[in-house]
Structure 1
Amino acid sequence: MLLAADVGNTNVVFALFEGTDIRARWRIATDGRRTGDEYAVWLLQLLAIEGIERSAITRIIFSSVVPRADHNLTVLAKKYFGIDPLFAGQGAAAWDFEIDVDQPHTLGADRALNCIAAHELVGGDMIVVDFGTATKFEAVDFNGAYKGGIIAPGINLSLDALVGKTAKLPRIAIRAPETDSVIGRNTEDQMLIGVFWGYVAMMEGLIEKMRAEFGRPVKVVATGGLAILFDKKTDIFDVIDADLTIRGLQILADRAQPE
């Protein structure tokens, strides 16, 4: 089995693959100080709950946008599984697609993995949208080359800034508004409208501008937990895959070390 983990700014997502199928997935809050031993206590218990022996894991791959976590994950892999892990974008798991931008080395691992998975699973000219701590828009051509993109504040980050910088505005949960009206009748509704519909307008506007620059038909592929939420109020997505990033890890691991 392949153990894959994607370290984001907010969460670390672990997934266990049997071939191309996800057998189990788990999520833990990102903390660069968490040691390899702490990861092991948590992960080994979860494996036991699933009835999976530690020895069943024969390959490990990590991706990370939090460099401080890399050493601790390496300790987890070597000490508790006896495996030298792959790291996405490095060594045998180096990127195997064209990164056609001014500073290719600055492309985040999660963004690169989304491009790999979307090209493998969907194909054609694409815009890949990832709703995370930041919302990222990626332009990928039909050859799988990364042509550039956009980084915008995530919707929760925008809400945190709104609430944190005002004295009286309450904390609200992000959800799809019950109606399509954009005239709120109370403070909480007005906040939700401003954040949610403002975000939809931003997203749709940027995607349309990207479409125009492609000059060809493109598919829009979305990932991240909020993709399904936005899909209720817009028809701009062609494909939604909440596991796109982690599937990119599986694809990259198979190319680097076929099982």
Structure 2
Amino acid sequence: MSCHPALTETAVKNALHYDKEELCHHCDKCEKLTRLHAASSLLRKKMKEDLVSRYSFLAWEWFIYNEEARKEFKVLLPGSLMSSSTLTVLMGYGTVSEWFKDATSRSCEIFEEQLKRGSFVVIGHGDCCTNMLFRYDAKENPVEVLFLDFQLCRQASLAVDLNYFLFSNFDRKDRKEKMGQYLSLYHSSFAKVLASASLTMPYTIEEITKEFKRKNIYQIICGSILIPLLVSETQELIDFDSASGGRAKNYVEELRQNAIRMRVRSIVLR
């Protein structure tokens, strides 16, 4: 087994629990994700063949890699949206609850529509939520961020990763106040990488912002799957693998019951 040199240093910490220099952390994470996307753009220009033709896994999605996964997906996604409908109505968000309820019957189609590649194609991480480590200097300033766990890596619109990343790592207040700043940082960092190879940035900040908004529903649906997991107590966590083997319906119901219990106990859901 090999290990990135930085991972062997003592100054590496999980990015999930930081309490200072938040903006610096966020900018570091955003720039790191941008470099991944921009580097893939350089690779696509360098190669004379389509990346998917050489690396077929880049076209795979976790919910369609075999027939069993497809069946589980058709249970997991609608069930997760119904759970979110129940949870949001308990929290007093009736309009949001109705949206989840109305979207349930066509949730799979909506999700797959959001994953259509279009003209903003990059190689994305696919699960850039908490799969990060920071390396700090002696003064506790973050100097490097490392992405881990690329098992969901695939070719998709850059806005898919951006939505997942910004909505799962940043709180509502931060997104509301600084979203424009983060998208601008993404654009400028992307352009900087391309400029190092004497290439012009193919997207304007306005185009990236529009694409980001077009893919917002992707993260809303992902959130309906993730939130019951993220708010569960450690002893109540349910392994995602337990949704396989025809048990997806039971898995969704257990998560729903957990989320309802956590509605009372969790400060996040109050």
Q: What range is the shorter-chain TM-score in?
A: under 0.3
| TM-score, normalising length: structure 2 | 0.27
TM-score, normalised by the number of residues in structure 1:
0.28
Q: Which has the higher contact order (CA 8 A, sep 6+)?
A: 2
Bigger share in helix: 2
